[in-house]
């Protein structure tokens, strides 16, 4: 087993990934694969919290996400893919952690509240819906991960996870509550207190120029978009500028994309200068932004295409099967340590597969 510090992060299979996922988290994941022992989780159980009656969609999206990951450069030879529903330790830890969090603390979690609002769940969400936030603590802690690369919207969940880790280590391992976050394991705790890591652009705007890029808002450029889609979507980016001779502010979605995807910083500076001087129209900048995004996405699209269809599905399933074995080695060891700390130890168990 690797001695590098561990990363755990993941995505819920609710659809295709987009540029916001790239700058928020995927880029960090790809970059950190050598430095850390990386576990990337498909949160398929979480998908059931809002779509329990759509198992076929969840299965399809599960395969799609893994394909997107491989296409952007997550390397199954260096990193471990984790299918959440195949890791029993996660479900078990969720139960124990649920007892360490006050009910009202969970319900105050701002990310949960924002999701209830955004998805229009009102007061008729399932019992399991808020439970997923506790489950997310278990995802991370089952791997005793120290670092969690995520989009900004996930930081509230990471904060809750940090609280759970400290509380468990305090209650069951006798670690003093004033211990510095970095010292919990050294002081005898089972769980490290993990840190979130937000990408270089915390909040990528959508093409509407107003809200964060999101599949459900219809303002996303997907990793699999073809050149034509990209052109069309970039042509519609909202900047609020009235005329090409207006001195424009580069504090808009258009230039956010330019800063994120231009290869040539000199060209970026030049365009920004022309734009603020009112010497170039939005249309010309949009064309260059579309070209830059297309150049970035072209190799991703090609790798993605190689995984299309039934052969791609079979390949992904085979990877998931093999990686689950590896993932369970770590998660089962964690569960064993946690149960021993809770005086639940009756000896080690082994998971099998026929
Ligand atoms: N809730 C995350 C999202 O929807 C996905 C997720 C599940 C996750 N478990 C995780 C992210 C653990 C980081 C760590 O984006």
- What are the structure tokens assigned to 77, written together? 């030879």
User: Measuring CA to CA, how many Å separate 249 from each of 106, 205, 210, 219, 265?
Assistant: 40, 15, 15, 21, 18
Nearest CA to 77 among 35, 43, 33? 33
Residue 354 has pLDDT above 70, yes or no: no
- Ligand 1 centre to CA of 136 (Å) is 6
Side-chain half-sphere CA neighbours of 190 within 13 A: 28
- Ligand 1 centre to CA of 270 (Å) is 39
Bridge pairing between strands 37-42 and 80-83 = parallel
Residue 83 has pLDDT above 70, yes or no: yes
d(C-alpha 142, C-alpha 328), whole Å: 9
- Ligand 1 centre to CA of 154 (Å) is 7
235: exposed, middle or buried (C-beta count within 10 Å: 0-12, 13-18, 19+)? middle
Nearest CA to ligand 1 atom 9: 136
- Ligand 1 centre to CA of 11 (Å) is 5
- Ligand 1 centre to CA of 293 (Å) is 26
Pocket of ligand 1 (CB under 6 A): 8-12, 41, 43, 46, 136, 139-140, 148, 150, 154
Mean confidence (pLDDT) of the chain? 96
Look at residue 196 in the predicted model and tell me its pLDDT.
97
Residue 319 has pLDDT above 80, yes or no: yes
Look at residue 42 in the predicted model and tell me its pLDDT.
98
Q: Is the dihedral of CA 130, 132, 136, 138 positive or negative?
A: positive
Give the ligand 1 atom nearest the CA of 43: 7
Q: What are 176-228's pLDDT values in tens digits?
A: 999 999 999 999 999 999 999 999 998 999 999 999 999 888 999 999 999 99
- Ligand 1 centre to CA of 277 (Å) is 43
Q: Which of 18, 28, 42, 43 to mutate to test the pocket of ligand 1 (most atoms within 8 A of CB)?
A: 43
User: Measuring CA to CA, how many Å separate 271 from each of 242, 258, 348?
Assistant: 18, 9, 63
Q: What are 94-133's pLDDT values in tens digits?
A: 999 999 999 999 999 999 999 999 889 999 999 999 999 9
Nearest CA to ligand 1 atom 2: 11
- What are the structure tokens assigned to 308, written together? 């299309």
- Ligand 1 centre to CA of 142 (Å) is 13
Nearest CA to ligand 1 atom 13: 9
Q: Which of 6, 7, 10 to mutate to test the pocket of ligand 1 (most atoms within 8 A of CB)?
A: 10
d(C-alpha 148, C-alpha 140), whole Å: 8
Global pTM? Answer: 0.95
Look at residue 2 in the predicted model and tell me its pLDDT.
81
- Ligand 1 centre to CA of 207 (Å) is 24
Sheet holding 37-42, edge to edge: 80-83, 37-42, 6-11, 147-150, 195-198
d(C-alpha 217, C-alpha 207), whole Å: 10
H or E segment to which residue 265 belongs: helix 265-276
Give the ligand 1 atom nearest the CA of 11: 5
């Amino acid at each position: 087993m690797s001695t590098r510090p561990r990363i755990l992060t993941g995505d819920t299979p609710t659809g295709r990934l987009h540029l916001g996922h790239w700058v928020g988290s995927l880029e960090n994941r790809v970059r950190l694969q050598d430095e850390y022992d990386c576990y990337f989780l498909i949160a398929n159980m979480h998908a059931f919290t809002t779509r329990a009656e759509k198992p076929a969609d969840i299965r399809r999206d599960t395969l799609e996400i893994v394909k997107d990951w491989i296409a952007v450069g997550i390397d199954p030879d260096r990193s471990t893919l984790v299918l959440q529903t195949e890791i029993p330790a996660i479900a078990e830890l969720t139960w124990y952690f649920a007892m360490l969090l006050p009910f009202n603390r969970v319900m105050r979690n701002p990310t949960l509240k924002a999701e209830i609002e955004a998805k229009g769940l009102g007061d008729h969400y399932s019992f399991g819906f808020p439970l997923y936030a506790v489950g997310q603590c278990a995802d991370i802690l089952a791997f005793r991960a120290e670092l969690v690369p995520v989009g900004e919207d996930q930081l509230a969940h990471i904060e809750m996870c940090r609280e759970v880790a400290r509380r468990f280590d305090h209650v069951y391992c006798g670690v003093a509550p004033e211990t510095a976050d970095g010292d919990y394991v050294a002081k005898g705790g089972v769980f490290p207190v993990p840190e979130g890591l937000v990408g270089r652009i915390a909040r990528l705007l959508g093409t509407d120029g107003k809200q964060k890029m999101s599949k459900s808002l219809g303002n996303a450029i997907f990793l699999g978009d073809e050149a034509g889609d990209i052109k069309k979507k970039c042509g519609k980016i909202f900047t609020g500028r009235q005329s090409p001779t207006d001195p424009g502010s580069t504090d808009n979605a258009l230039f956010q994309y330019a800063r994120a995807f231009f290869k040539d910083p000199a060209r970026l500076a030049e365009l920004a200068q022309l734009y603020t001087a009112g010497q170039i129209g939005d249309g010309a900048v949009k064309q260059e932004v579309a070209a830059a995004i297309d150049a970035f996405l072209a190799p991703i699209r090609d790798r993605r295409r190689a995984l299309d269809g039934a052969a791609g599905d079979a390949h992904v399933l085979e990877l998931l099967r093999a990686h689950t074995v590896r993932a369970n080695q770590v998660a089962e060891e964690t569960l064993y340590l946690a149960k021993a700390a809770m005086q639940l130890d009756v000896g080690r168990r082994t998971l099998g597969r026929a």
